[in-house]
């Protein structure tokens, strides 16, 4: 008899957590078990099994996820399936940058398009549940150059249901368009705790240095909710702002262990971000130098395509 038939719910969820966290490989045994648990009688187990598929973006799962997204009787399972399809949007965007024949990509142009169409249908269907439309929006947000996605995020942000607004802010961070900066900065002061939390996370992900002063206030304020404070500390590191470092250094010596640990992680993030920024500046300086040399070289000799000096055909 198969091993998973003897596993209780706790053991199944523990196994799936290990798989999702990378403590177990996606080997043949794990994939067989995963396929079985996606049809488990317990919706929590099914949802967690589907969540694991984010880390195994093989095209063979697309039809499975689409079926779960539309047919599973439990809303949370359907939402997880929609969310997992977002990985294929991410893979498709990478393919647009790297080329569809890159060996590490797991999706074809055809699969990318059908996943995109499927998610748009859900996101734009007023008959769909709010949770389904939210997760479809978040999944589509990887399409950073798609004006339809931009319009969808705008619509969601202004939706009367605050839950849709929360998803819109999440999508803004994933989408990465600079236009969202002013929305996120405004929501850092929101009276809605969940909206504010999502705005802090987005400010960090987008590296909004304009948010630094507000994040410092939150990070050093011992009276605000601790989860928000810890998130603000980490977001400070993500900004890479010079003003953030001395604050993080001080917080890394805090008596509060949670604050201390997050501040140390934030310092590592700050170092990585500033290192990447320095590398980008060096690359731009090198490109400018090469451009200047090329301009000098072309300016030093007559233009052979000019009618007065040239003798070569343009054909």
All domains in the chain, ordered by first residue: 177-288 (1.25.10.10)
State residue 94 phi and psi, 5-degree precision. Answer: -65, -40
- Measured CA to CA, the distance from residue 174 to residue 115 in angstroms comes to 18
Instruction: Select from 137, 89, 91 the least CA-distant residue to 115.
Output: 89
pLDDT confidence of residue 304: 30
pLDDT confidence of residue 290: 52
268's tokens:
């590592």
Burial of 299 (0-12, 13-18, 19+ CB in 10 A): exposed
- Average pLDDT, integer, range 29-52: 93
- Measured CA to CA, the distance from residue 261 to residue 226 in angstroms comes to 13
Q: For residue range 156-207, list pLDDT tens digits in order.
A: 999 999 999 999 999 999 999 999 999 999 999 999 999 999 999 999 999 9
Q: Which residue did the predictor score with more confidence, 285 or 150?
A: 150
Give the other-Cβ count within 10 Å of 23's Cβ: 9
Q: Where are the beta strands (DSSP E) in the chain?
A: none
Residues 6+ apart with CB under 8 A from 218: 200, 224, 228, 229, 232
Q: How far apart are the first and last CA of the chain?
A: 76
Looking from the CA of 83 toward its CB, the CA atoms found within 13 Å total: 21
- Measured CA to CA, the distance from residue 166 to residue 53 in angstroms comes to 24
Q: Residue 284 above 80 pLDDT?
A: no
State residue 252 phi and psi, 5-degree precision. Answer: -70, -10
C-alpha angle 307-309-314 in degrees, rounded to nearest 5: 50
Q: Residue 267 above 90 pLDDT?
A: yes
Q: Residue 100 above 90 pLDDT?
A: no
Burial of 138 (0-12, 13-18, 19+ CB in 10 A): buried
C-alpha angle 246-234-157 in degrees, rounded to nearest 5: 125
- Average pLDDT, integer, range 45-53: 94
């Amino acid at each position: 008899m198969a091993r998973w038939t003897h596993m209780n719910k706790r053991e199944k969820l523990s196994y799936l957590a290990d798989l999702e966290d990378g403590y177990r490989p996606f080997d043949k045994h794990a994939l067989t078990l995963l396929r079985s648990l996606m049809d488990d009688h317990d919706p929590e187990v099914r949802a967690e099994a589907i969540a694991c598929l984010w880390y195994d973006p093989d095209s063979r799962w697309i039809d499975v996820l689409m079926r779960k997204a539309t047919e599973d009787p439990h809303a949370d399972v359907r939402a997880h399936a929609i969310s997992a399809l977002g990985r294929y949007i991410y893979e498709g965007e990478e393919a647009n940058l790297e080329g569809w024949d890159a060996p590490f990509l797991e999706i074809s142009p055809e699969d990318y398009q059908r996943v995109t169409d499927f998610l748009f249908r859900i996101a734009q269907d007023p008959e769909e549940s709010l949770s389904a439309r939210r997760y479809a929006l978040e999944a589509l947000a990887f399409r950073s150059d798609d004006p339809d996605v931009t319009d969808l995020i705008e619509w969601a942000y202004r939706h009367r249901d605050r839950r849709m607004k929360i998803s819109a802010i999440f999508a803004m961070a994933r989408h990465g368009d600079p236009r969202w900066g002013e929305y996120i900065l405004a929501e850092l002061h929101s009276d809605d705790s969940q909206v504010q939390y999502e705005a802090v996370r987005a400010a960090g992900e987008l590296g909004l240095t304009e948010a630094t002063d507000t994040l410092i206030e939150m990070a050093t304020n011992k009276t605000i909710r601790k989860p928000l404070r810890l998130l603000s500390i980490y977001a400070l590191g993500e900004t890479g702002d010079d003003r953030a470092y001395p604050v993080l250094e001080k917080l890394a010596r805090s008596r509060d262990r949670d604050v201390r640990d997050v501040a140390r992680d934030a310092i590592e993030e700050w170092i990585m971000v500033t290192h990447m920024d320095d590398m980008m500046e060096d690359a731009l300086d090198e490109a400018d130098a090469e451009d200047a040399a090329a301009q000098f070289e072309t300016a030093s000799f007559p233009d052979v395509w000019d009618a007065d000096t040239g003798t070569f055909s343009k054909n």
